[in-house]
Structure 1
Amino acid sequence: MDRIVVVGAGQAGASLCARLRAKGYTGALTLIGAEPVPPYQRPPLSKAYLLGEMPVERLYLRPESFYADQGIDLRLGAPVTGIDRDSRTVTVGDEVLHWDALALTTGSAPRRLPAATGGGLDGVATVRTLADVDDMAPRFAEGARVLIVGGGYIGLEAAAVAAKRGLHVTLVEMNDRILGRVAAPETAEVFRTLHRDAGVDLREGVGLDRLLGEDRVEAARLTDGTEIPADFVIAGVGIAPATDLAEAAGLEIADGIATDEMGRTSDPNIWAAGDCASFPWNGGRLRLESVGHAIDQAEAVADNMLGAGTPYVAKPWFWSDQYDTKLQIAGLNAGHDRVVRRAGKAGSVSFWYFAGDRLLAVDAMNDPRAYMVAKRLIEAGRSPDPDAVADPETDLKALLA
């Protein structure tokens, strides 16, 4: 291959390019990003960066000089507007670039509040890009009133930052409870207590009816009929895979850009990795949204682009920081029928998800030891005795024996 083009300059795209060079690829390599800044970490945006505890330079995955040093043609602020599979080209502004192999690492985009609910008013923000957070940051003034729509991890992390900054925070979750799609009630209760103790007005089973105001947000009417004042609103209602380019190019889509186990799309010359891609998993398809997955899959795809022929095997892990609590998650809890609680030291706790006697996942709060042990067990396909897990007298190391 004389030329590889990578579309999407996030964690997956940067990792894929670095891996190609590390594995000896010497051909032309172009990394194209729609944002005007070098590839950066997204998780700290809604935490340390928004709190002012991390300068922007520390967000960058690598110094910008790295790309030049590695012979990577990094093009920033340059959204790709089209892919032509027949001519093997991409269009970037007025320029047409040829490729021999193309990798799509386009990531995901935040779901927005519908215009019918006032989602187009000034003062409605999302938390996805550096520009999003820079635009939002001046609103985080002590005493300001913020409404957060959505009780997933994005919404809860934003609520934690706002509460720490002294804002008046209301969070609404239209489903019965926060974290309803991703965590057990036991984990949700830990974070519900944390937020309420921090002064967050957390309302479950209540959604947004519409935002009120002429040009900018002034208040919100909820689905229970109550109205609350709001100086600004954060929409934390999830993200969707960025598949527009792939769809327009006629690639197969299945909750993301569909790939085979190697990372190849329905076009044998086009590959995909990261948030935007779905891949075979346990007889179905899976799409993951995490830093660890973006790196691991991108590196696997880079290897396979160079002929490794090694199927990608996901090892899911995630984390969330809220107040002084660090949640670490290993595995996927889908299909569990039992949750085992294990008390740790100094108030730490972990919840272990089982399907029958098979360990699927763990949520560990301020308990890195429980997380690491469970992660090793899950990745090895081993399951400890649930009763032994629940017994605080059981040495965690013994579970690995």
Structure 2
Amino acid sequence: MSHSVEQVLIVGGGLAGLRTAEELRRAGYTGELTLLGDENRAPYDRPPLSKQYMRGETDDTALRPAEFYPEHDITLRLGVTATGVDTTARRVRLSDGTEAAYDALVIATGLRPRRIPGLPEVSGVHVLRSHADAQAMREHLGTARKAVIVGAGFIGCELAASFRAGGLDVTIVEPQPTPLFAALGEQVGALVARLHEAEGVELRCGVGVETLVTEGDSVRGVQLADGSVVDADLVVIGIGSVPVTDWLADSGIPLAAPGQGGGVLADETGRTSVPGVWALGDVAAWPHAVGHPKRVEHWTNAGEQAQVLAAALLGAEPSAEIQVPYVWSDQYDMKIQVLGIPALADEIEIVEDKGRKFLAHYRRAGELVAVVGASMAGKVMKARGELAANLQPVATAS
């Protein structure tokens, strides 16, 4: 390599950043390795925040014990944010006024929740991304009675299930026709809607939010675009997230177009067009089967990308490749699993429908491109081979 790698700086203290550090050490990298995180907390697992943590079943979501980091000579710098980068001098500016040098910079800054502009800023309104967000929400659950969740994506649906387990009245407000409409389509979304209605969740689909109803500095309800009001003493805004890339302004590091989801543009190994700069995880737009670079916000994707990136960064041939995309969501007593790329489909077939269990096939020009199932793990995973073959032309870019 033209520039030797003696200092690797990973910006982002989440799953993707940690997995990259692990894979670099596993691949034999012995140089300096620093993991920078903006939270005062070592890397932790986010999926349990909306489920086991929210229900009070666990407090510990750490991905590794504290001793892991010194044992693997990984320096954690926590509670500090990257504010800019000089890619010529190979230095990252930090919020505490210092700078961090690098030979290789790995961008793994993840996402921040979207907000609804113009809403009153009052107590009782939450988003969920960080551990602090989850802790504040869980503490509020102790006194809340009626919850409104704005947005019926995976996080919104999981929180609805957790809130119902805690005895709250729950209303989901979703501008699209069904829950999970954007991810899974209307037919499967309708099956998910049925699951939530069976658990006592009120669904208000096809309508947006106008404003909040407040009393003093607290929320008391949500006024919808159709003029109706839903009472609430706890409101969650779960309308998706945006990649954390503002600190890269004027850096010359290329970003994907906002209309295509934004994020840091990288090739199929995570390498950007700027020497020494790499990107992976939720913030990174790698080549994708949809025909343009795309960010993939899947837990399994972060680990797979880390294997590929670490090898390429060290000048080796990647021994791993990106597998068939996989994501799951635990709701009530069901595990909804998504294998493949539903967005590619031009036809959706409900293969089995047994109430709380269902299986759907997603096809493009007759070929299977995704399978979605609720509590049908065996039948979902059985399709992996066929999906891998059908998605083969994009297997290393999915």
TM-score using structure 1 length = 0.90
Aligned-partner Cα distance in 2 for 1:231–1:129: 21
The yes-or-no answer on 1:148 pairing with 2:149 is yes
**In 2, are the aligned partners of 1:8 and 1:34 still within 8 Å (CA)?**
yes
- 1:338 is matched with which residue: 324, 330, 347? 347
How far apart, CA to CA, are the structure 2 residues paired with 1:185 and 1:352? 13
> Please, which moves more after superposition, 240-249 or 144-153?
240-249
3-state secondary structure, aligned to 1:334: helix
Instruction: Determine which of 348, 354, 359 is the counterpart of 2:368.
Output: 359
Within the alignment, does 1:348 sit opposite 2:351 as a pair?
Answer: no
Give the Cα separation in 1 of the matches to 2:337 and 2:9: 34
Alpha-carbon spacing, 1:42–1:96, altered in 2? closer, same or farther (3 Å): same
- Tell me the amino acid that sits aligned with residue 39 of structure 1: P
2:29 pairs with one of 16, 25, 30: 25
CA displacement at 1:21 relative to structure 2: 0.5
Unaligned runs of 5+ in 2: 257-261, 393-398
Aligned CA distance change for structure 1 residues 347 and 144 (closer, same or farther; 3 Å): closer
Kept in 1: contact 2:358–2:375 (CA 8 A): yes
Amino acid at match of 1:228: V
Q: Deviations over 1:239-265 (max 9, x none)?
A: 111111223422110021001222111
Specify whether residues 285 and 350 from structure 1 end up closer, same or farther in structure 2 by C-alpha distance, changes over 3 A only: same
CA deviation after TM superposition for structure 1 residue 337, in Å: 2.3
Cα drift, residue 142 of structure 1? 6.9
State the Cα distance separating 1:295 from its structure 2 match.
0.9
CA distance in structure 1 between the aligned counterparts of 2:84 and 2:292, rounded to whole angstroms:
30
In the alignment, is residue 101 of structure 1 matched against residue 108 of structure 2?
no
Residue of structure 1 aligned with 2:91, choices 75, 89, 92: 89
The two structures, once aligned, show a CA RMSD in angstroms of 1.9
Any residues of structure 2 matched to 1:1-400 within 5 Å, and which?
1-56=5-60, 59-92=61-94, 93-114=96-117, 116-118=118-120, 120-141=121-142, 144-213=145-214, 214-254=216-256, 255-282=262-289, 283-310=291-318, 313=322, 315-343=324-352, 348-381=357-390
* Preserved contact between residue 39 and residue 62 of structure 1 (Cα < 8 Å): yes
1:207-245 Cα offsets, whole Å, 9 max, x none, are 111002142212221111111221121001001111112
Looking at structure 2, the residues matched to 335 and 316 of structure 1 have their Cα atoms a distance apart, in angstroms, of: 12
Q: Deviations over 1:173-203 (max 9, x none)?
A: 1122221211133321222112111111111
SS in 2 for 1:176: coil
The range that moved more, 75-84 or 158-167, is 75-84
Deviation at 1:33, TM superposition (A): 0.5
The residue identity in structure 2 corresponding to 1:236 is G
Q: What SS is found at the alignment partner of 2:48?
A: helix
Q: Offset of 1:131 from its aligned partner?
A: 0.3
Matched positions, count: 379
The percentage of aligned residue pairs carrying the same residue is: 37
Aligned residues of 1:126 and 1:235 also touching (Cα < 8 A) = yes
Tell me, in whole angstroms, the C-alpha distance in 2 between the residues paired with 1:335 and 1:382: 10
Equivalent pair of 1:80/1:90 in contact (CA under 8 Å): yes
Q: Deviations over 1:72-93 (max 9, x none)?
A: 1111112122211121111231
Counterparts of 1:189 and 1:271 in 2: how far apart (Å)?
40
Deviations 1:25-45 (A, max 9, x none): 000110000111111110110
Is the partner of 2:44 in helix, strand or coil? coil
Q: Which moved more, 1:209-218 or 1:154-163?
A: 209-218
User: How many Å apart are 1:297 and its aligned residue?
Assistant: 0.7
Which deviations, in whole Å up to 9, do the C-alpha atoms of 1:365-398 show, x marking residues without a partner?
1011111111232123389xxxxxxxxxxxxxxx
- Alpha-carbon deviation of 1:169? 0.9
Label 1:379 to 1:247 Cα distance change in 2 as closer, same or farther (>3 A).
Answer: farther
Q: How many angstroms does 1:112 deviate by?
A: 1.2
Q: Could you list the runs of 5+ residues in structure 1 that have no partner in the other structure? A: 384-401
Q: Aligned partners of 2:134 and 2:358: how far apart in 1?
A: 32
Q: Secondary structure, in 3 states, of the residue corresponding to 1:182? A: helix
Structure 1 residues 40 and 143, CA gap change in structure 2 (3 angstroms): closer
SS at match of 1:117: coil
Matched position secondary structure for 2:70: helix
Alpha carbons of structure 1 residues 222 and 178: separation in structure 2 relative to 1, 3 Å: same
Are the counterparts in 1 of residues 271 and 279 from structure 2 also a CA contact under 8 Å?
yes
| Local SS of the residue matching 1:158 | helix
Q: Which amino acid aligns with 2:276?
A: N
CA contact (8 A) 2:126 2:237 kept: yes
Matching residue's letter, 1:61: L
2:17 aligns to what SS in structure 1? helix
Distance 1:248 1:234, change over 3 A: farther
